[in-house]
C-alpha cells in the first residue's frame, strides 16, 4: 500500500498568503511534517486527527537530520497516508527539497510540488518596493548566506553579486553579512548601495531596517532579533 506526498509551500508565515491548493492539501492530509516557520496558525487548516510532526531546522539549535526527515516521509507514505511536507516560503528555494524528492523517487512514492510565495517577494511587498525596476534593476538573484558549516560559501560568484544593476536577495545571511560585504566592496560594489534587512516577514514580529551596504553589518548587530531574515541589496532597497 502506497500513499502520496505533497510538498506544500506555506509562504513566509502569514496564513492568508497560502494558496488555495495548499489549503486543500492541508485539509486532506493524514500526516503533516512541518518546518518551524510553517507552524502556528498555518496548521489550523489541518484536519482533526492528522499527525502533526515538527521536523524544522534552525541554525544553532538541535534539529532533525535530513536523512531522518526523508525516512519519516517515506515511512508515512508507505503506510498509505496522504502526506504533506510543509515547507516555509517556496519549497524550491533553499528548502532541501531535492533530497526529499530523491527519497520519494527511490521508494517509488508519487509526489507533487505546490509552489508558494517566497519570503523575498513578501519582503519587497512589505517594504513597498518592486524587485525589478526598468533601467536600474534588470535582474534579480537569490543566494544563500551560509553553507553546511554555517560559514559564507567559498564558491559564491562575487563578480555577479557585485552587479550594481541587480537586486540581490541574501537568504540566511545575518551571521555572514559582514564578510560578504567586504568581498562585495572589494569587487567594486559601492558602500553606499542601498540595503534592507527584512526579518520575520508577514508575521506580527515583522521588522524592516533600511541602510546601506556599509552600514548593514552594524544595523544587523543593533536591530536584528532571532527571527528568520533576509537582506536585499541593490537599487530596489531604497526608502
We report the CATH number of the domain holding residue 145 as 3.30.950.10
* The three cell numbers locating residue 69: 526527515
What domain range includes position 126?
119-237
Note whether 151 and 43 are same-domain residues: no
Q: Rounded distance, CA 9 to CA 120, Å?
A: 14
Last residue of a domain, one of 61, 96, 114: 114
Question: Checking phi first, is residue 184 left (phi over 0); if not, alpha (psi -120 to 50) or beta?
Answer: alpha
Last residue of a domain, one of 94, 114, 134: 114
* The three cell numbers locating residue 172: 540566511
Note whether 128 and 192 are same-domain residues: yes
Note whether 85 and 162 are same-domain residues: no
Q: Rounded distance, CA 191 to CA 121, Å?
A: 24
For residue 238, what are the CA distances in angstroms to 57, 66, 98, 193, 215?
32, 38, 35, 9, 14
Note whether 158 and 132 are same-domain residues: yes
Q: Say what the pTM is.
A: 0.90
Q: How many structural domains are present in the chain?
A: 2
Last residue of a domain, one of 99, 114, 129: 114
Note whether 148 and 207 are same-domain residues: yes
CATH code of the domain covering residue 109 = 3.40.1010.10
With cell 507533487, the residue in question is: 112
Active site residue ranges: 35, 57
Helix (H) or strand (E) holding 87: strand 82-87
Helix (H) or strand (E) holding 179: helix 177-186
The angle subtended at Cα 149 by Cα 70 and Cα 106, nearest 5°, is 20
Note whether 44 and 93 are same-domain residues: yes
Sheet with strand 110-114: strands edge to edge: 51-54, 31-34, 82-87, 4-9, 110-114
Note whether 219 and 109 are same-domain residues: no
Note whether 123 and 198 are same-domain residues: yes
Helix (H) or strand (E) holding 177: helix 177-186
Note whether 195 and 228 are same-domain residues: yes
Count of beta carbons in the 10 Å neighbourhood of residue 120: 23
Max Cα–Cα distance, the chain, nearest Å: 60
Note whether 140 and 44 are same-domain residues: no
pLDDT in tens, the chain (239 residues): 579 999 999 999 999 999 999 999 999 999 999 998 888 899 999 999 999 999 976 655 556 788 899 999 999 999 999 999 999 999 999 988 999 999 999 999 999 999 999 999 999 999 999 999 888 888 999 999 988 888 999 999 999 999 999 999 999 999 999 999 999 999 999 999 999 999 999 999 999 999 999 999 999 999 988 889 999 999 875 55
Amino acid at each position: 500500500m502506497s500513499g502520496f506526498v505533497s510538498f506544500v509551500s506555506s509562504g513566509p508565515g502569514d496564513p492568508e498568503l497560502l494558496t488555495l491548493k495548499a489549503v486543500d492539501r492541508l485539509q486532506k492530509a493524514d500526516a503533516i511534517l512541518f518546518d518551524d516557520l510553517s507552524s502556528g496558525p498555518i496548521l489550523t487548516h489541518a484536519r482533526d486527527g492528522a499527525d502533526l510532526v515538527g521536523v524544522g531546522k534552525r541554525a544553532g539549535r538541535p534539529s532533525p537530520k535530513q536523512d531522518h526527515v526523508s525516512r519519516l516521509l517515506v515511512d508515512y507514505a508507505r503506510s498509505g497516508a496522504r502526506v504533506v511536507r510543509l515547507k516555509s516560503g517556496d519549497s524550491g528555494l533553499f528548502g532541501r527539497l531535492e533530497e526529499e524528492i530523491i527519497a520519494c523517487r527511490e521508494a517509488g512514492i508519487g509526489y507533487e510540488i505546490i509552489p508558494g510565495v517566497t519570503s523575498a517577494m513578501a519582503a519587497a511587498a512589505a517594504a513597498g518596493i518592486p524587485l525589478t525596476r526598468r533601467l536600474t534593476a534588470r535582474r534579480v538573484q537569490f543566494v544563500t548566506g551560509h553553507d553546511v558549516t554555517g560559514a559564507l560559501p567559498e564558491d559564491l560568484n562575487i563578480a555577479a553579486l557585485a552587479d550594481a544593476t541587480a537586486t540581490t536577495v541574501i537568504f540566511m545571511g545575518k551571521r555572514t553579512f559582514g564578510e560578504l560585504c567586504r568581498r562585495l566592496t572589494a569587487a567594486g560594489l559601492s558602500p553606499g548601495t542601498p540595503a534592507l534587512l527584512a526579518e520575520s516577514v508577514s508575521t506580527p514580529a515583522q521588522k524592516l531596517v533600511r541602510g546601506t551596504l556599509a552600514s548593514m553589518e552594524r544595523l544587523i548587530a543593533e536591530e536584528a532579533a532571532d527571527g528568520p531574515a533576509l537582506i536585499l541589496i541593490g537599487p530596489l532597497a531604497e526608502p
